[in-house]
A and B are shown apart, each in its own frame.
Chain A
Amino acid sequence: MEFGMRDCRFSYRPLFREHRVFDGLSVQFDTGRTLLLGPNGAGKSTMMALLASAVMPKEGQVYFGELRPSRRREQAAFRRNVGWVPQRVNAMPGLNVREQVAYAGWLKDMPKHDAWDAAMPAIEKVGLADLAERPSKALSGGQNRRLGIAMGLVHRAKVLMLDEPSAGLDPLQREDLRVTLAQTGEHADLIVSTHDTDDMGSQYDHVVVLAGGSVRFQGTTKDFMELAERDGSDSARAAAAYRSLVQES
C-alpha cells in the first residue's frame, strides 16, 4: 500500500511569525522497515505528525493508498491504518499500564473489549508484562518509551511510525528496543526516526535522510552504506554516509 506525502507545505506560526518547515515536500515510503535519519530540527517529528494526520499540511496531500486524511470521511480509516508514537508519551493520571494501552487502542477505533484483550500482548511484546497493573505515572523514562510503543502496537496498524524511540534509553534498553522493533516490523511497515546513526542496524530495509526540510537521500540501506568508504565498521560507515549527506547543505 502506498504511503507518503505529496507536495506538502507546512509552517508553524509562533506569535504571527511564520516558520516554514516544508515547502512542497514529497516522499513515498517503501514497504518494510525504514529509518528516517536527520539532524535535530530537520523536521522529522513534523513529518511524522503530518503523516499521522495529527496536523494537516497547508497544501499538498498525505495518503495511504486511496485514503486521504484531509477528506473527513476517510480520516478515521486512515488513522486506523497508520499508527504514530510521538517522541513524548505522557502517562494518563488514574490509568494503569494496561488501561492506558487499551485506551490507546479504543481511540484508534478498536471495540473496547478487543482493545482490552489486545493490550496485554502488546505490553508483553515491549517487556512490560510485569508492570501491567502499575499506574502508568509510576514508570521510568525507559519504561515510558516502551509504554508508548505498546500503545502504537495495540491497534495493529499497517504502518507504525516511532519518533526517536531510543532517545533517553541506556545501551541495554536500546538493544531490547531493537529486538522489539525487529519483531514489530514483521507485522507492519515500520518507520523509525532518529538523529543517531548508532541506531542503524541491519534490521532496516530503507533509509530516508531529511535535512533542512528536504529529503537528501532515499534508498535501500545498502545504497546508503555505499555512500561511504568501504573500510571501517558498519556504524562508522553509516555515520560517514550520513555526515556527507547532511553536510552537503
Chain B
Amino acid sequence: MRAKTLWTSSPSLYLLPILALLGWYLTTALEPPGFDGFPGVTSHVAASLPFAILPAAATAAWDIGRLRQSGLLRTAPARNRLRVLAQMTLPGWACGLWTVAVMLTAAMRMADDPFDSFNLAPLVVSLAVLSAWTLVGAAAGAYLPPVAAAPAAAIGGYVLYSGSAALTDPKWRHLTGYSWSECCTVDQQPDPTLIWASLPLALAFALAAILVLSDLGRFWTRGLGAVAAVATAGAIAFPAASGLGYIPVVARDDDDLTCETSRVEVCVWPESRELLPLAVQTADQIASELEPYEVDLSNGFRQGNRAVPGQWRFVIREDFNADLMRKSMISALQPSSTHCDDPQDRFYAMQILSTAWIQVVLAEVTPDEAADDFRLGPDQKSALEDLLSQPAADQGAWFDSAAAELAECPGTGSAEERQR
C-alpha cells in the first residue's frame, strides 16, 4: 500500500495532534521528576506510558480489523502475510512512538540535565512494552471485528500495565514494566535485575502476537507456541521479579560523587557540582556551630533525596541559596526512624527528640516552638528541656548515641537495602 494511502486511511494520522497535546499535558502535569538524569526522565515517561499504549493498541487493532473485514487476506495474497500485517500495524505503532517522543521531549525540558547518568534500560523496556501491546492489538484485530478489537486491545493493555501498579504485591508491576516509572532519586540507579523481570514478558507477548498473526502451521500449534513463549518468559521473569523490593533501585556508584573537605567532607553528584562551594561553606558554618557540642560529623554530608540511616544526606535543588542550603543541611541532621521495628514508639520518640534538639541548636527555634512544631507531649517536652539544661558536650554525646541507635535499630531491610 502506498504510504499516503496507509496514513490517510488509518485513524492514527488524525490522532497525532490529540496525542501530542495529551502526552505533553500528562507529562508536565505530573510531579516534576526527583532526578534530573536520563533514568529520571525516562521513568517519568514510563509513568505516562499507558496513554501511549492505549492509542497504539487500539489503532493497530482497528487497522488490522478493517483489513480482516475486507476479506483481502483470504484472497490468497502473494505477499508474505506478516509483511502485509506489519505494514498495517505501522501507523498504530508510530502513533505510540509519537506519543512517547512527545512525552520524552516534555520530560527532558523539565529536567535540568537530561543526559546525566545516561541509562537506556527504562526507555528500552518502555518501547518493548509499547511494541508488544501494539502487536497484541494487531492480533486482536485479526480475529475480532474492529469495533470489538480496538477497545479490547486498548483496555487490555492499559489495565494490565497501569492496573498492576494498584496491586499490593510489587512483583506484578515489575513483570509488566510499570516499576520503571518509580526510578530514581539522585543517589539511585535502576536495579539491573528489573530488566530480567520486565523485558521477557514484553518480548513474549510480542512473539505470541506474531505467532498468532502468522500463517505458519495450524492455528492450534501457533496458539500453543504463543502460550509456550509467555510461559517461558514467565519462568524467567517471575523469580527475578520476586526477588525485587517495592521500588527496584540500587545505590548509585559512589565513585561518581564529587567531594570537598574543609571542616567536614561534603559530597555532591555531578549534576549539582556548581553548588558544591555553597554546600561546603554551609557545612563549615554548621560544623563550627556544633563544635561546642562535639557532635560527630566525621561521616560528612552527602547529597541524596532519601534518609539513609547513619548518613547525613541533604537535598539540593538548582535554585538553592545560602538560606535554603542551610535548611536542607539541618534537615539532613534529623535522624529517621521509619525503618525501625518500633511497636513501643521508642525509636520514634528518640527521633522526635533528636529532631527538636537539632532545631533548637541550629535553627534558632525556642524549646516551646520546637514542642509545638513537633507536637511533643508533656513528658517529651520536659525531656527536651532536661537535655538542653545539660552541658553542651553531654547534649552532643546524647545526640550521637541516639543517632547511632536509630541507625542500627532492628527493623525492615538488610543493611545493604537501607543504603539503596
Contact = CB atoms under 8 A, between A and B. Distances in A.
B60 to A, nearest CB: 14
B174 interface: no
Interface residues of B, number: 21
A94 interface: yes
Contacts of A80: 78
A156 interface: no
B311 interface: no
A112 interface: yes
B78 A92 contact: no
Residue from A53, A82, A99 whose CB has the most chain B CB atoms within 10 Å: A99
A80 B2 CA distance: 19
A76 B78 contact: yes
Nearest to A110: B78
B75 to A, nearest CB: 6
Interface in B41-88: 66-67, 69-72, 74-80, 84
Given A76-B78, A107-B78, A92 B2 contact: no
B334 to A, nearest CB: 63
Contacts of B84: 107
A99 B76 contact: no
A112 B5 CA distance: 11
B338 interface: no
A78 B119 CA distance: 50
B221 to A, nearest CB: 15
A107 B72 contact: yes
Contacts of A107: 72, 75, 77-79, 84
Given A90-B69, A92-B70, A104-B72, A99 B78 contact: no
A229 interface: no
Interface in A83-120: 84-86, 88-95, 99-100, 102-104, 106-109, 112, 116
Contacts, number: 76
A52 interface: yes
B178 to A, nearest CB: 34
A121 to B, nearest CB: 17
Given A99-B5, A102-B5, A94 B75 contact: no
A49 to B, nearest CB: 8
A92 B62 CA distance: 12
Nearest to A136: B70
A104 to B, nearest CB: 7
CB-CB nearest 3 A-B residue pairs: A94-B9, A92-B70, A107-B77
Given A54-B74, A91-B70, A99-B1, 17 more contacts: A52-B76, A75-B78, A84-B75, A86-B75, A92-B70, A92-B72, A94-B8, A94-B66, A95-B5, A99-B2, A99-B5, A99-B9, A104-B72, A107-B79, A107-B84, A108-B79, A112-B1
Interface of A: 52-54, 69, 75-77, 79-80, 82, 84-86, 88-95, 99-100, 102-104, 106-109, 112, 116, 151
Interface of B: 1-2, 5, 8-10, 66-67, 69-72, 74-80, 84, 146
5 contacts: A76-B80, A85-B75, A92-B66, A92-B69, A107-B72
